[in-house]
Amino acid sequence: MEDTGMDKVRIRVKSIAGECQAGHKPGEEIIVDNVTLSGYLCPHALHSLWPYIVVLQMRGKFPWGDGDSTTISCPDGDNLAIFEISRLKESEYQA
């Protein structure tokens, strides 16, 4: 596999308090490969998650937890969606 210099990142919907206006459901997963998303992600959530996604894509580490994942919420305070973003290991890449 060619090394692009960017890791793939998994976005997983952990929970939703209320009803997500974008239709997200707990357990949904989206893979980010460079700037391509494998599925739909609410633009407001994407805007909140993007800086953290880029850290993981560029092989950076967070100074908390295991460094390879974090939990971020969307900006909708009435229907709060919680997303977990994590770096995919090469063994998890789909060919």
For the chain, give every domain's residue range: 9-86
Residue 89: the pLDDT is 78
Residue 35: the pLDDT is 87
Encode pLDDT of 42-81 as tens digits. 999 999 999 999 999 999 999 999 999 999 999 988 889 9
Identity of the residue numbered 14: K
Question: Rounded distance, CA 71 to CA 8, Å?
Answer: 17
Question: Rounded distance, CA 25 to CA 29, Å?
Answer: 10
Residue 91: the pLDDT is 62
Work out the pLDDT band at 95, boundaries 50, 70, 90: very low
- Total-model pTM: 0.88
